[in-house]
C-alpha cells in the first residue's frame, strides 16, 4: 500500500493511504506513524479519501497510531472517510471515539 505524505499548516502532517487498508497494510501504517512521531511529527491527519477498504487490522493500526501519537503529546485525526470506511467505523462503534473531519487541513484547526 502507498502512503502519500504532505505537510500542512500548523505543523500538521497529512498521511493519505491509497487502496486497501487491511491486514497486509496494517503493520506498514503502524511503523510509518511510529517513525514520523519519533521524528517529532506529532500532529498527524490521516486522509482516508483514497481508502477503498478498511478491515479490523487496518482499524487496529489506526488505533495503535493514535496511542503512539498521544503518548508523545500529539494526536491522530481522521479526515475525508468515504462511505464504506464510515460504515466500518459505525459498525465497530469506533465512531463513538474517533470523529471524522471534513478534510485534513481543518482536522487540527483551532488547536
Partner 1 sequence: MRRFLLRLAILLALVLGANYIVWRWLASVNWDAWWIAVPLVIAETYSFLDTLFFGLTMWRMKQRGEPGPPLDATVDVFVATYNEPIPLVMATATAAREIRHPHRTWVLDDGNRPELREAAEAAGIGYLTRSANWADRPRHAKAGNVNNALFATEGEFLLILDADQVPDPEILTRTLGYFRDDKVALVQTPQYFGNVDAADVLGSQAPLFYGPIQQGKDGWNAAFFCGSNAVLRREALMQLGIAGYVDAVERSVRSTLRTAGTVVAKARRRARNLPERRALAAVAEGVRDAEAALRADAPLADVTWRFQQGVAKASRLLVAADVQEMQAALASLGASGQVVVEDDAPLDDDQLDLLASSDLSPIGAIESVRSLARSLDVIRSEEAEPLSPLATISVTEDMATAMQLHSHGWKSAYHHEILATGLAPEDLGTMIQQRLRWAQGTLQVLLRDNPLTKRGLSAGQRFMYFSTMWSYLSGFVALVYLAAPVIYLCFGVLPVEAWSFEFFVRFLPYFAANQLMFLLASRGIKSWRGQQYALTLFPVWIRACWSAAANVFFGRPLAFVVTPKERTGVARTPWRLVWPQLTAIVVLSVALVVGLARFAFGDADGTGVLVNVVWVAYDLAVLSIVFRAARYRGPEPKEE
Q: Give residues in contact with partner 1 (CB under 8 A).
A: 23-24, 26-27, 30, 55-57, 59-60, 63-64, 66-67, 70-71, 75, 92-99, 111
Total Cβ atoms within 10 A of residue 91: 9
For partner 1, the closer CB: 14 or 26: 26
Cβ at position 59, least distance to partner 1 in Å: 6
Cβ at position 30, least distance to partner 1 in Å: 7
Closest CA to 68 of 100, 104, 38: 38
The cell for 63 is 488505533
For partner 1, the closer CB: 22 or 41: 22
Q: Is 19 left (phi over 0), alpha (psi -120 to 50) or beta?
A: left
Cβ at position 20, least distance to partner 1 in Å: 12
For partner 1, the closer CB: 50 or 75: 75
Angle at which helices 56-71 and 26-38 cross, to 10°: 10
Query: What is the rounded CA–CA span in Å between residue 46 and residue 23?
Result: 17
For partner 1, the closer CB: 15 or 88: 88
Cβ at position 15, least distance to partner 1 in Å: 17
Amino acid at each position: 500500500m502507498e502512503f502519500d505524505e504532505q505537510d500542512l499548516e500548523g505543523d500538521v502532517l497529512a498521511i493519505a493511504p491509497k487502496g486497501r487498508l487491511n491486514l497486509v497494510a496494517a503493520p506498514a501504517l503502524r511503523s510509518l506513524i511510529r517513525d514520523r512521531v519519533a521524528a517529532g511529527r506529532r500532529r498527524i491527519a490521516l486522509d482516508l479519501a483514497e481508502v477503498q477498504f478498511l478491515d479490523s487490522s487496518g482499524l487496529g493500526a489506526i488505533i495503535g497510531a493514535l496511542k503512539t501519537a498521544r503518548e508523545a503529546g500529539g494526536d491522530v485525526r481522521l479526515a475525508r472517510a468515504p462511505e464504506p470506511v464510515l460504515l466500518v467505523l459505525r459498525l465497530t462503534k469506533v465512531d463513538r471515539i474517533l470523529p471524522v473531519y471534513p478534510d485534513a487541513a481543518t482536522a487540527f484547526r483551532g488547536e
